[in-house]
A and B are shown apart, each in its own frame.
Chain A
Amino acid sequence: MMPEKKLMLGNEAVARGCWECGVHAVNSYPGTPSTEITEECAKYPREDMLCEWAPNEKVALEVSFGVCQSGARALSCMKHVGLNVAADPLFTAAYTGVRGGLVIAVADDPAMHSSQNEQDSRYYARSAHLPMLEPADAQECKDFVKLAFDISEKYDTPVLLRLTTRLSHSRSVVTLDERVKPEIKPYEKDAQKYVMMPGMAKKRHLIVEDREKRLAADACKMPENRIEMRDEKLGIICSGVCYQYVREALPEASVLKLGLVNPLPRGLIEEFAGKVERLVVIEELEGVIEEQIASWGIAAEGKNLTGIQGELSVNRIRLAFGKKLPESADVPAGIPARPPVLCPGCPHRGAFYVMKQMKLTVYGDIGCYTMAALPPMSSMDACLCMGASVGMSFGAEKALGRDASRHTVAVLGDSTFVHSGITPLIDSVYNGGHNTVCILDNRITGMTGHQQNPASGKNIYNEPAAQLNLEALCASCGVRDIHVVDPFDLKKSREELQKALDFDGVSVVIFRRPCQLLIKGETKSAKVDGCRNCGKCLTLGCPAIEKTESGVRINPALCVDCGLCAPLCAFGAIKSSVGGENK
């Protein structure tokens, strides 16, 4: 029988590879573009591969480490900034090594399609002295994750699998294989290897250094690092999706394709450099490979041609080598942008409307609600990383005094609060702050596409799970002033928020209403009759409310009749089936 072939997303292929090579458990926190790996893993029988969403990437990796330390294969997946959170266990797991295989899939986001920075995860591999593989299509996603587990067990090390957005989110054909389940390795107590105190760690550090040298030598013979000789005038070193761009833009060039991007196969690179007249490294983001090659005294170009910003592309490479670009038209003038927006019926809209009315300084966070920074809401002053809003709002009080906290809030979602908002809340209480923390509790992890979390009451399989009680949690952190409101009750939201701002201590306001996208079934639409064109409803920034010459129009295809806009109209011109007393 012919093996089955399937068109698979890169992330889906990573999941398939994990299942085929007998991964025992998958623990992750969602983050674009890595999320679908764990979601796809959860589609396989859990008797084969048990999947869980962790509260954050650090916890995810620690659980995975426990799995592998107990002899079974474990995977954790995260986006590039998630690896910052998981960096603490990562650097020391590099010392202990593994019993069962341990692989961390990390997805970088060049061009920041859904991210706040453009960091290059390859630097983590270098500084933690960990092997890193980088596939170039979906088939390699599957093959390389299996190889990653083999390397992990053979060399006794965690292994990083680096993906980028264009790999994670592009589909290509994958040949499916059978599943082979390795035995769980027998447990033996080995404190010298697994208890990292200075005396033990000093010995392990020697092993880490030796391991990396062995891997670098062996990497010269790995078939995943291969020389493709074509024209000797130009030789390109590349990996990942850049290999595809290079093959298309420079079909005549000789190529050294790297599958293992850390440690680098020095011997193989020297051999390739000796065979070609001009050597160029084509890599997205930082010049990680180029810098190392230069340090060995090999003359190579790279970042002088491509720069470090954004994604590379076939045309960017053509341009860098003076090739003619295909003829193409410009975007016509006068085409308005179409930025992402909060959905019609989004519960966050009520909360941000109130904050804007109250002219508050808003420390924002990572989630759908970051879009409230855009017009017409424009209700955000700063946004840094997961959970940072809480600490930032406390910091503002230190700089500007207690009164600053009378008109300042921190805003973060339920999942983001659980991820990294709890410890800064404890800090604010412990150190005598007066800041107000608004938790936008929409009962789901929204932006990454609806993943369950500890506060949602369900697990990754959508089964009932222990539900974190946010009010009780905040109370036990020492918060004495806790309010729970429906963000669509604008009047009550404003009142409770004012009380919180006035309170002599740290306050928490939980704006609780489920994400509109969780509500299934047909919805009605609000109607407009007798609009005076005052524009007040337009300040909500709802995509269903359109401005026209003769007054506003409500788009029935988009409106979900959430009822937020109707009470705002001083003339009663918006009719909704949902009643309310908002003004």
Chain B
Amino acid sequence: MNHKIVIVGVGGQGTLLASKILGQLAVSENLAVKVSEVHGMAQRGGSVITHVIFGSEVYAPLVSEGEADFLLAFESLEAARALPFLSKDGTIIVSTQRILPMPVITGAEKYPADPLGGIRERVSACEIPADKLAEEAGSIKAVNVVLLGAMAKRLPFEKDKWLSALEKCVPAKYLELNRRAFTLGYENS
């Protein structure tokens, strides 16, 4: 059986590092894996989405709507936007952080009071203050690794395996910070 994960956020939030670590982990475990990314125009502060699929045999590089086991969301609005990807038994792991999109900034539209209202009653949702935890770890930029930590417990890999995948993907001078971020996510999910 394959594991299917959709990672969403806002361009510049570091979604690509999260998918890179997941991909690295799957490769180390000798699993088949595909990761699909967004480059180019959509990166400039727009919605971004990355698909990660691993398991015994992987064909499509994209997760179909209704098939994601996990929706890893770096921002609440983006979690709601990507909801169609989630399977009915899937889990949302979402940072409670809010980043205002341009139509809200200019006042043309409103940021919903509770983007996950009506959603958390229907699916399993793990809402964590990933931005606060990342700051606690040492940098707001570590939101991605906090969220990975929060998802890690729910996937069939030991914590050591995650940490060694992390080590392969982040520069040595940021390793300690990222280890802290991962552990904070792991323990607070």
Contacts and interface: CB of A to CB of B under 8 A. Distances in A.
Contacts of A341: 44-46, 102
Interface in B23-73: 23-24, 26-27, 32-47, 58-62, 64-67
Contacts of A285: none
A113 B58 CA distance: 24
Q: Which residue, B60, B83, B109, B110, has most C-beta atoms of chain A within 10 A?
A: B60
Given A329-B84, A332-B118, A538-B107, A113 B44 contact: no
A547 B107 contact: yes
B116 to A, nearest CB: 9
Contacts of A375: 102-103, 106, 108
A488 B123 CA distance: 49
B87 interface: yes
Given A166-B61, A170-B37, A326-B87, A340 B105 contact: no
Contacts of B59: 244-245, 247-248
A278 to B, nearest CB: 21
Contacts of A33: 39-40
Contacts of A371: 44
B83 A331 contact: yes
Contacts of A535: 107
B83 A332 contact: yes
Interface string A293-326: 0000000000000000000011100000000011
B58 to A, nearest CB: 7
A59 to B, nearest CB: 22
A328 B105 contact: no
A523 B159 CA distance: 36
B60 A314 contact: yes
A7 B27 contact: yes
Given A245-B59, A341-B46, A335 B39 contact: no
A336 B109 contact: yes
A338 B101 contact: yes
Contact of B62 (A313, A338, A339): A313
A332 B39 contact: no
Q: Which residue, A36, A113, A170, has most C-beta atoms of chain B within 10 A?
A: A170
A7 B33 contact: yes
Interface in B110-160: 110-112, 115, 117-119, 122-123, 140
B88 interface: yes
Nearest to A109: B40
Q: Which residue, B11, B101, B109, has most C-beta atoms of chain A within 10 A?
A: B101
A326 B78 CA distance: 21
B85 interface: yes
Given A170-B34, A368-B44, A543-B105, A326 B66 contact: yes
B86 interface: yes
Interface string A1-16: 0000111010000000
B161 interface: no
B33 A335 contact: no
Given A7-B35, A244-B60, A331-B84, A326 B65 contact: yes
A519 interface: no
Interface string A514-539: 00000000000000000000010010
A326 to B, nearest CB: 3
Interface string A146-171: 00000000000000000000100111
A192 interface: no
A541 interface: yes
A343 B45 contact: yes
A448 interface: yes
Given A247-B59, A447-B41, A338 B77 contact: yes
Given A32-B41, A557-B140, A328 B102 contact: no
Q: Which residue, B34, B39, B67, has most C-beta atoms of chain A within 10 A?
A: B39
Contacts of B83: 329-332
B7 interface: no
Given A341-B44, A449-B39, A547 B106 contact: yes
Contact of A340 (B39, B41, B107): B41
A186 B83 CA distance: 60
A423 interface: no
Contacts of B122: 329
A326 B85 CA distance: 10
A334 interface: yes
Interface string B7-26: 00011000000000001101
Contacts of B106: 375-376, 538, 541, 547
Interface of A: 5-7, 9, 32-33, 35-36, 113-114, 137, 166, 169-173, 241, 244-245, 247-248, 313-315, 325-332, 334-343, 368, 371, 374-376, 447-449, 535, 538, 541, 543, 545-547, 555, 557
What are the 7 tightest A-B residue pairs by CB atom distance, in nearest-first order? Answer: A326-B66, A328-B66, A32-B40, A114-B40, A340-B46, A170-B61, A338-B101
Interface of B: 10-11, 23-24, 26-27, 32-47, 58-62, 64-67, 77-78, 80-81, 83-88, 100-112, 115, 117-119, 122-123, 140
15 contacts: A7-B24, A32-B40, A172-B33, A313-B60, A315-B64, A326-B64, A327-B87, A329-B84, A332-B83, A335-B81, A337-B101, A338-B46, A338-B102, A340-B46, A343-B45
Given A329-B84, A339-B101, A376-B102, 14 more contacts: A32-B41, A33-B40, A137-B34, A172-B58, A241-B61, A248-B64, A315-B64, A327-B66, A331-B84, A334-B110, A336-B103, A338-B81, A447-B40, A546-B100
